[in-house]
Amino acid sequence: MKAVRIHQFGGPEVLTYETVPDPRPRKDQVLVRVRACAMNHLDLFVRKGLPGVNLPHILGSDIAGEVAEIGDYVTGFKVGQRVLLAPMSFCNHCPKCVAGLQNQCRQFTVLGNAVDGGNCELIAVPAVNVIPIPDSLDFNQAASVPLVFLTGWHMLIGRAVLRPGQTVLILGANSGVGIAAIQIAKMLHARVITTAGDEGKIEMARELGADFVINHYQQKISEEVRKITNFEGVDVVIEHVGQATWEQSVKSLKAGGTLVTCGATTGPKVDIDLRFLFSRQISLLGSYMGTMSELYEVLGHVFAGRLKPVIDHIFPLKDVRIAHEYMEKSQMFGKIVLNP
Ligand SMILES: [Zn+2]
């Protein structure tokens, strides 16, 4: 099959489109013909070098395609069936896994991170990862859903326990997590404040349902949040930007508010003023992907059309270097999808 592999860490030039042996499914696995694989910032981090990545390595976490072959021990699937893959790998037998907390498994990793991903034509995965999709979703749309909608759901529902009527600040309306979190928060009747960097993105954020959009290049986020909330602050902040926005995010919280973070795109080291933390009784929570049960829950809303993936651009898989350069410019609104 054709695959994009990296043999060393580095810039887009290390992405190599080449012929590799077809993967063979184990008896408990399903072989899936990849029709679409959506990109995430994780692809850039893995390409540049992360611990636990064995070379050569195939990138790609968000996969949709068709069942090509079914292992002897697997039942319930048909060859040719349209599916998406849960974007994670876990042992499925430890106490955390059997309790349904797959993202706390010691072996937990994201597809395309510590295990090979979907920047290829065929992938073999455990049957537990394979989820049928309705005809209403094409492969590009289906591939654009799993990682960001699961992450957004776990942050808002699993961690922050968002309630109707609460006010949420969601950083980066154009990011995958931003697009998912805005829609999830609106579906749950929360009030959404988000941020965007230009007029086009501000308009698109409003179309997604955001009630207020702050221009993060021209306005100070915490000052605008204070004006919008009558000097009170927000109940929940959804953070994934890191260093560049951390201080503004913390300052935007109301007393007793909750900040949830799932990423550090602009850098991982931040300052915390402990006096502010304890006197304002703030909660700072980490969030990493989500559980299989949460994935099924959020997919139910996607399949019913209540939550919608947003696609920015589709590239042929062989143009993966151009796709990485495009993502590094951070000008997109929505997912970048690769087609083998
Ligand atoms: Zn486990």
Task: Encode the chain (340 residues) as per-residue pLDDT tens digits.
Answer: 999 999 999 999 999 999 999 999 999 999 999 999 999 999 999 999 999 999 999 999 999 999 999 999 999 999 999 999 999 999 999 999 999 999 999 999 999 999 999 999 999 999 999 999 999 999 999 999 999 999 999 999 999 999 999 999 999 999 999 999 999 999 999 999 999 999 999 999 999 999 999 999 999 999 999 999 999 999 999 999 999 999 999 999 999 999 999 999 899 999 999 999 999 999 999 999 999 999 999 999 999 999 999 999 999 999 999 999 999 997 899 999 999 9
Are 167 and 193 in contact by the 8 Å Cβ rule? The answer is yes
pTM score, whole prediction: 0.97
CA of 111 from ligand 1 middle (Å) equals 15
CA of 134 from ligand 1 middle (Å) equals 29
CA of 104 from ligand 1 middle (Å) equals 7
CA distance 55 to 188: 43
DSSP 158: I
CA of 194 from ligand 1 middle (Å) equals 35
Are 118 and 5 in contact by the 8 Å Cβ rule? The answer is no
CA of 128 from ligand 1 middle (Å) equals 13
Res 287: pLDDT: 98
The burial of 109, by beta-carbon neighbours within 10 Å (0-12 exposed, 13-18 middle, 19 or more buried), is given as: middle
CA distance 239 to 170: 7
CA of 316 from ligand 1 middle (Å) equals 35
